[in-house]
Amino acid sequence: MSSPLRTRAAAYDEASIRVLKGLEPVRQRPGMYTRTDSPLHIVQEVIDNAADEILSGFGSRIDVTVHADGSVTVVDDGRGIPVGLHPQEKVPVVEIVFTRLHAGGKFDKRAGGPYSFSGGLHGVGVSVTNALSERLEVTVWRDGQAHSMSFVDGEVAQPLRARPVRAGEQQHGTRVRVWPNPRYFDSAQLPLQELERLLRSKAVLLAGATVTLTVEKTATVQQWRYEGGLQEYLLTALGAEPIVPPFEGEGYAAADDEAFAEGEGARWVLAWTEDGPVARESFVNLIPTPAGGTHEAGLREGVFAAVRAFVDAHGLLPKGLRLMSEDVYARMSFLLSARVLDPQFQGQIKERLNSRDAVRLVASFVRPQLEFWLNQHPEYGRRLAELAIRQAQARTRAAQKVEKKKGSAVAVLPGKLTDCESTDIRRNELFLVEGDSAGGSAKMGRDKEFQAILPLRGKVLNTWEVERDRLFANAEVHDIAVAIGVDPHSLDEEVDLSGLRYGKICILADADVDGAHIQVLLLTLLLRHFPKLIERGHVYVARPPLYRVDVPAAGRRPPRRLYCLDDEELRTTLDKLVDEGVRAGSWTIARFKGLGEMSAEQLWETTMNPDTRRLLPVTIGEAGIASTLATMNMLMGRGEAAARRAWLEEHGNEVEADV
């Protein structure tokens, strides 16, 4: 009699491998490509395309209509999507745009390309819109003709056909009407308030463009047009009087800029208020980034540097008080619109910017302009300084209260621990670093204000079956426990975490198999003997890159350095470089054998800088704590060799290991 396991294994053959074609991947996993709470994002993809036309200097209006039947029409007066046959695919380009993933006009970033700056980068924008719609109709006015075609469930229903443009009809542009398919969304209703906010922000950022919204059910028409009114927009959102007049500025790289491509930069307006909610909105190439990202980090960095320079120059800081970035940022509202030639977003829905260069890009323009403005208006500078100093004093008082709760019984900290200066556990971070050489780079590259380093020698003991009273016999485990400041405990125990010295405990190991082993051993220690730290979100895994790619200058882009986490990201990065027009093979690829090979500057930029690093929180999986403990027992228990072997036989083919 065959076992269920063998039956399942026998069913795994060539026919088990399914190849998803066309738009099928989107329909299978819509959440990977768009937000599924409502159809707003698939409509936004169409609106973003219209905005990109205006951003590139072609077109002056966007008209959106929400129809009574739930469909939405977006019309622009741009160049119109090309309708001729694609030279390689021999299919009308407009059809490719709506039916093929990773196809679009925004990969071409060379000088004179159709879109030097745009939000569309993945080539899956309106193709996702089509995939998740019951019906989609497109009309393109171009070259004296009106070209139209329609799609049903993502497939061509009416092939492309053309007719002469009628009298009074627009001569160029695109009209797209979408009927979102409700089966892919939690709610089929379009959130009108969010749509209004999106369109209003497009009008603000596209100075001189006219944006209209028509809602058929209520017979309402709204129109927005701003002639550069960033201040007006922010002040309306604030609802409170700022303590100084808003500071508005912009800066863009010139053709001879050695650090950035011509045209890269930002516009911004800043305002500070004493109380009430703050208003913060940011955009990259007109794409809203509600989760922020590196462009916002650059704004914070530039603003803090300018205010601190003013405070230092005028001797305004009380003795013994340390001014930090959050003290200046806490009461600051802003509107930021960045232009980045080749932005890297987190995920297809583009809610957060990950481009590391954007930190320096925005900061390099904001700091000198704000510093000049503060010194030109010293009374404004003093008001801002006083506000920031009050925030710093409140933060210091709060940290002192936390310190008093810790009590006086403090263990002697391990000698190899390089501690941080701050006592505020809300900011403090401890990095458990593999090896002394990597520990040295981490010590030099860290921010000593809030980052502590504890280098570990060799591999940590497997503590899954070690009794608590024998735990401290191992020197490495003892040092970790003392540095953290929390006693070992079990999940069902009441434990006092008031002695916790760091809000984030970050495991920092090499990006290879040995590093992964050390990660597992440390996670084993924390799950078995310090589970409350994981349960309350204090444990993280840092993800250092495995590769560095040095890219020569290409077109408008200066030389740059890119980092890749693994082989898959390296392949994606190289493919993207080819799409940008970089000659294949002109780049240099370096593989890091370990953290010790990285300079302090590289380790800070890629792995430790809160604005540019990739830090994964460690949480209990969806299966629950009981299942997690059972799996860990099978993997780490001394008497579980037979279970491990069976598990490896079943799942070994799924492992991707660098050996």
Q: Answer whether residue 123 shows pLDDT above 50.
A: no
Mean residue pLDDT across the chain: 84
Residue 20: the pLDDT is 47
Task: State the burial class of residue 512 (Cβ atoms within 10 Å of its Cβ: 0-12, 13-18, 19+).
Answer: middle
Confidence of residue 8 (pLDDT cuts 50, 70, 90): very low
Active site residue 487: no
Confidence of residue 160 (pLDDT cuts 50, 70, 90): very high
Distances in Å between the alpha carbon of 590 and those of 247, 319, 550?
A: 43, 47, 8
Q: For the ranges 236-240, 410-414, 630-634, which has the lowest average pLDDT?
A: 410-414
Q: What is the pLDDT of residues 506-520, one digit of tens each?
A: 999 888 788 888 999
Active site residue 275: no
Q: Answer whether residue 121 shows pLDDT above 50.
A: no
Q: For the ranges 91-105, 401-415, 636-650, which has the lowest average pLDDT?
A: 401-415
DSSP bridge partners of 269: 248, 335
Q: What is the pLDDT of residues 189-221, one digit of tens each?
A: 899 998 998 898 888 888 789 999 999 999 999
Domains of the chain: 24-224 (3.30.565.10), 230-401 (3.30.230.10)
Share of the chain above pLDDT 90, in %: 41
Q: Answer whether residue 18 shows pLDDT above 60.
A: no
Residue 565: the pLDDT is 86
Q: Answer whether residue 149 shows pLDDT above 90.
A: yes
Residue 105: the pLDDT is 46
Q: What is the pLDDT of residues 170-191, one digit of tens each?
A: 999 999 999 999 998 888 889 9
Q: For the ranges 263-267, 411-415, 417-421, 483-487, which has the lowest average pLDDT?
A: 411-415
Active site residue 327: no
Q: Answer whether residue 432 shows pLDDT above 50.
A: yes
Residue 6: the pLDDT is 41
Residue 658: the pLDDT is 53
Q: Which of 364-373, 466-475, 591-600, 644-653 has the highest mean pLDDT?
A: 364-373
Q: Which of 119-128, 213-222, 465-474 has the highest mean pLDDT?
A: 213-222
From 95, 510, 580, 605, the catalytic residue: 510
Q: Answer whether residue 231 shows pLDDT above 90.
A: no
Residue 21: the pLDDT is 55
Q: For the ranges 116-120, 156-160, 274-278, 500-504, which has the lowest average pLDDT?
A: 116-120
From 434, 476, 479, 580, the catalytic residue: 434
Q: What is the pLDDT of residues 371-416, one digit of tens each?
A: 999 999 999 999 999 999 999 998 888 766 544 334 334 457 788 8
Confidence of residue 78 (pLDDT cuts 50, 70, 90): very high
Residue 120: the pLDDT is 43
DSSP bridge partners of 141: 146, 173
Q: Answer whether residue 632 shows pLDDT above 70.
A: yes
* Gap between the Cα atoms of 375 and 396, Å rounded: 28
Active site residue 566: no
Confidence of residue 597 (pLDDT cuts 50, 70, 90): confident
- Cβ–Cβ under 8 Å, residues 380 and 389: no
Backbone angles phi, psi at 141, to 5 degrees: -95, 115
Residue 22: the pLDDT is 59
Residue type, 552: P
Q: What is the pLDDT of residues 247-278, one digit of tens each?
A: 999 999 998 888 888 889 999 999 999 988 89
From 24, 351, 514, 597, the catalytic residue: 514
Backbone angles phi, psi at 291, to 5 degrees: -90, 10
Residue 614: the pLDDT is 87
Q: Answer whether residue 223 shows pLDDT above 60.
A: yes
Q: What is the pLDDT of residues 533-569, one digit of tens each?
A: 999 999 999 999 989 999 998 777 788 888 988 888 8
The two tokens of residue 425 are: 């556990």
Residue 350: the pLDDT is 63
DSSP 70-91: S-EEEEE-SS----SB-TTT-S
From 512, 569, 579, 597, the catalytic residue: 512
Q: What is the pLDDT of residues 330-353, one digit of tens each?
A: 999 999 999 888 788 765 556 788
Q: Tally helices (H) and strands (E) across the chain.
A: 19, 21
Q: What is the pLDDT of residues 438-461, one digit of tens each?
A: 788 889 999 999 999 999 887 788
The 3-class secondary structure across 443-500, one letter per residue, is: HHHCCCCCEEEEEECCCCCCCCCCCHHHHHHCHHHHHHHHHHCCCCCCCCCCCCCCCC
Strands annotated E in 59-209: 61-66, 72-76, 133-142, 145-152, 155-164, 173-180
Give the global pTM. Answer: 0.68
Strands annotated E in 477-614: 504-508, 539-542, 547-551, 560-564, 588-591
- Cβ–Cβ under 8 Å, residues 357 and 304: no
Residue 659: the pLDDT is 46
The two tokens of residue 533 are: 């730290």
The two tokens of residue 36 are: 């599924």
